Each structure stands twice: as C-alpha cells, then as structure tokens.
A and B are shown apart, each in its own frame.
Chain A
Amino acid sequence: MSKPDISTSAGSLQLSNPFLLASGILDENGYTMRRILDEGAAAVVTKSIGMEERSGYKPPIVSVDDPIVINAVGLPNPGILNVGNEIKIAKKSGKPVVGSIFGKDVNEFVHLAGKMEEYGTDAIELNLSCPHVKGFGSEIGGDSSLVKEIVENVKGSVKIPVWSKLSPNVTSLIDIARAASDSDAIVLINTVRGMKIDIHSGRPVLTNRLGGLSGPSIKPVGIRCVYEVKSSIDIPVIGVGGIESAADAIEYIMAGASAVQIGTALWKHGRGIFSKVSNELEEFMAAEGYTKIEDFRGLALT
C-alpha cells in the first residue's frame, strides 16, 4: 500500500502536513522559525506583532507545574517596522509563514496586515484573543461588532488569506465566530485564563499575576470549541490547544479542523515534535486504511 497523503489546506493555503507552529512559541527570531520549518512544521505563525516595539512583562512569564503551563509574556515584539528581516530569514525555508498581528483598533489591524503582506507572509492571523494584556486581544475579541469590523476591513485590504484566532474566554463563542466568518479560517483556541500562586511566598508566580493556561489541560476545551463552531458555521477551522501527539491532532481533525497548531508541547518534546507527529499520523492512517486527511476530517460531526 502506498504511503498515506498527510497534506492538507487551510482555506486556500496549501500545507505539506497538518502541523503548524502556534503563535507565541519560538517565533520571534527568523533563524528559529526557519529551523522549525526545516525540521518538519508545515508552516509557522509569527509572534504577534503590533505597531510599536514592546518589551513584554518581566519574568516570571511562565509557570510550569507539569502538565499545567500558564504564561503571561505580555506581547513582546519589535514593532511592525522591525520584523521584515526576520520574516525574510524564515521564508528561506520555502514554506509558508503566517504573520500574527494585534492592534487596539481597526486602523491598526489594517495597517499591520498591509505591512505583513508587503513582507511576503502567506497569510495573516488576527490575534483577537490574547488573554493577558489590557486593551488588546480578548477585550477586542469579546466584542462581536468590533470583531466583525476588523475582519471585514482587513479582508478588504489584503489579498492573502486572513485567519481569526479566537478566545475561549467569552460568553458565546458562536456569536464571535459568526462575527469573524468573513475570515478565510478561524483558529481555535487561544489560552484559557488562569493563575498560579506559590504557597511558600504567598505570591502570584507570574509578574502579570494572571495568565493563560495552555498544554494538555485545555485540549478538551479546544476540541469542544472546534466542534461547536464546525457544527454551526461552514468555515475552515485550525485547531490549537494541548496537541502533543497525532492522536490529539486526529481528535481535532475529527471535530472538523483542517489543520492544527502546536505550541506548549515544544517544552516537553522539543522541535522534534513536528516530525514525530507527522510520522505518527502516517502510521495511524495506514493502520486505519485512510489515504488522505479528508477521509476522516469532521467524522465526529456526522
């Protein structure tokens, strides 16, 4: 039997396998993004980039209590004017680079998306969901009329695909997803708001006190969100949250995801996770008799 075909697409973006690097993880240095692509990721999503240079929060920016990982990095980024060279370095891999952006209003998002397109990114990911920076992310991502306005305006200003990354920290995910349904794909989910207190110092561990929970703890939340959105809206979805193995990814794909993103798992598995999950996926498909991803995508929805 021939090898199963693990290529897929997210909207119009063709991907050699379903595994992308999630935004915020190992994706501010062009050399790092390039290495991750060379080592097997189908595409990378850059760290979220805003209008101005930001240092982010002072460490601790992460609290790790296996398997619980909570972060509040604070959107550090060099500013949109300083990111072109990193994207150029990453693009030498020949694989897609997706530019993640965050802004405080429609104009900023439109400007940032235009610059990303100019830098040669293959798609835009709108960060409408960072859970731990005031005035950005979730505060915007929880307002469905603002989400609709941002998505429509960015879509109207660039030719490359536009993805919307949404938060699970909202009252009605479906309302927000509908507001974002002009996007070429919806990315679900960003981290879940959380907190860690050290009991010997009596202090919150993270400098920002509150953070975002990621890793295996949030996988069931992510799968539920993908399933809910795919059940009611006909739009490509990219799943993210707690994926460490092909089995985790297959759950997301069976819930309807076209591709998935991996982030926190880099902590335990290192950059080698991308080739590991691709191999596991081929083994699963061969064992189950699937020849392509479409054979089992959305299986749980029917």
Chain B
Amino acid sequence: MIYSPRILRNEINTPTVNSLYFKLDIPVEPGQFVMVWVPGKSEIPMSLSMIGEEKCLTVKKYGDTSNVLAATKPGERIFLRGPYGKGFTRVDGKILLVGGGSGMASLRPMFNENAHGLIAARSQDELLFKELFGSDKLTVATDDGTSGIKGNIVEGMKVLDLESFRMIYVCGPERMLKSIVDYVSDKKINMELSLERSMKCGIGLCDSCSVDGLQVCRDGPTFNLEEVKKMEEFGRTRLSESGKRVWFQ
C-alpha cells in the first residue's frame, strides 16, 4: 500500500535539511521508518520526525532523490509505504536524546519535558532541532567549534552525567554510533541506538541492511546497547549495493 498525502508546508531547518509536513492517519511508533518513493528517482528509508495525525518527514539533502524530495511544494504529493521496524522503548523519567548529523529527526518524537539533548554537527548552522530544548537542557558539539564544545559527539558525552538518565537514545551514522558504543562500553547505562544502513526493500527480504544476520529494517532499526555490543559486523563491515563486503573507513 502506497500512501500519497499532499504536503501542507515545507520548512527549512538548516542549509541542508528541510521538513515536510502532511496529514496521514496511520499509527506510527517513535523510531519507526517509512520508505519514501520519488517517482522517476529512487526510494529511500526515512524516519518520521512527527508521528501524530500531522506527520513530518525531515529530509537531509545528500543526493538526487533527497534533493527532489526536499523541494516538494505545498499541495504536491509525496509517496510512501510503511511504517516499518521496531520503535524505541519509552520510559518515565530523565532521558537523553543524542543526535548526530540529521539524527535528531528520528528522536524528535521522543521529546518531552524530561528530555535533555546532545546535538553534534560539523558547524553551528547544521545543528538540527536545537530549538526544541531549553538552554539548560541542551549540550552542543561542533567539529569546527562554532558552537558549544569543539569536537565530536563523544566530547559532548564526556561533560554529561550519563548514568543519571533512565535511558539514552542515539541516532546518527554508524561510525558515530561505533565511537559512542566504544566510549560507553564500561558505563552502567541504558541505551538504545537507531542504526542507519542502506535499505532496498524495507521489509526484511533483500538482506541489504543486515548486521550479524539481523535485519535493521525488521529487527531494528532500534537496538539496545547490549545487542549492538554483540554484533561482529557493527562499525566494521557492511555490504555494498551489489552485496560486496566493504569495510568502514
């Protein structure tokens, strides 16, 4: 079943990220994803950054398909199927949302008054959704030092009392997740990570997104820290479009 809602508004978040708002009455859990089809281009997996009756797709412009999608005008249609995958576990109490790159998009539905944010980006104008958090509940790290701590996301984690959070939710590119997992490996924390791997089918058939025999599209995309620690392939190898094994640099 392909849904084809019309866009209500297109909001610019950063120089490389736009958010498309639309109404679609289907239940979605935070952390689940949809496959978004741009006819004539391709189909890409994306998480939803709002999951109520009004929904939102937050699009990072990184290629042909996402560039066309990000330019969708109000009144035009988008095409998607899903939702797919396993969402995040919800807990009561203090939580930490850790988003690298456009990672905060899939964490946005988890935002509440008990949430602290850690956002990392290359530069200050690429910090996504930092306006969600009050200044006392936000930690920022930038590679170029234009905002917050100068350094990567792990430098940002070092200034936080990680063990004080009931759950830490993390979303970002796999190399970033690997550095986080290595950093927290000896800490007593609860953490769930949303893995990003290239997907073709989204429904557990094609094997493109598999890690250690688990399908990110079906067993994930969210996994708890203990599951991730056991994965031999995590942060080390993946399969390319053809199925050829390649190593993370």
**A interface, CB within 8 angstroms of B:** 25-29, 31-36, 47, 53-56, 58-62, 64-66, 71, 73, 76-79, 82, 85-86, 198, 200-201, 203, 205, 207, 263-264, 266-267, 270
* Chain B residues within 8 Å of A29, by CB: 207, 210, 213, 239, 243
* Chain B residues within 8 Å of A36, by CB: 213
B205's contact among A62, A76, A201, by CB below 8 Å, is which? A62
Q: How far is the CA of A144 from the CA of B184 in the complex (A)?
A: 61
Mind listing 14 A-B residue pairs with CB under 8 Å?
A25-B205, A32-B207, A47-B243, A55-B242, A56-B242, A58-B43, A59-B200, A61-B201, A76-B241, A77-B242, A82-B244, A205-B2, A207-B42, A267-B204
A266, B204: Cβ atoms under 8 Å?
Answer: yes
* Chain A residues within 8 Å of B77, by CB: 200-201
* Chain B residues within 8 Å of A78, by CB: 239-240, 242-245
Secondary structure call for the B interface? loop
A270, B204: Cβ atoms under 8 Å?
Answer: yes
B79 at the interface (CB under 8 A from A): yes
B207, A270: Cβ atoms under 8 Å?
Answer: no
- Per-residue contact bits, chain B 85-116, to A (CB 8 Å; 1 contact, 0 not): 00000000000000000000000000000000
* Chain B residues within 8 Å of A33, by CB: 213
| Interface residue total, chain B, C-beta cutoff 8 A | 40
A266's contact among B44, B205, B242, by CB below 8 Å, is which? B205
Q: Which residue of chain B is the closest to A31 with respect to CB atoms?
A: B213
- Minimal beta-carbon separation of B63 from chain A (angstroms): 11
* Chain B residues within 8 Å of A35, by CB: 212-214
Contact A76:B213 (CB < 8 A) given known A47-B207, A270-B218 = no
A26, B43: Cβ atoms under 8 Å?
Answer: no
* Chain B residues within 8 Å of A59, by CB: 35, 37, 42-44, 199-201
Q: How far is the CA of A34 from the CA of B233 in the complex (A)?
A: 14
* Chain A residues within 8 Å of B25, by CB: none
B212, A60: Cβ atoms under 8 Å?
Answer: no
Known: A64-B1, A78-B239. 20 other contacts (CB 8 A): A25-B205, A26-B206, A29-B239, A31-B212, A32-B215, A35-B214, A47-B207, A53-B244, A55-B240, A56-B241, A58-B42, A59-B199, A59-B200, A60-B35, A61-B206, A73-B206, A78-B245, A82-B245, A198-B79, A201-B39
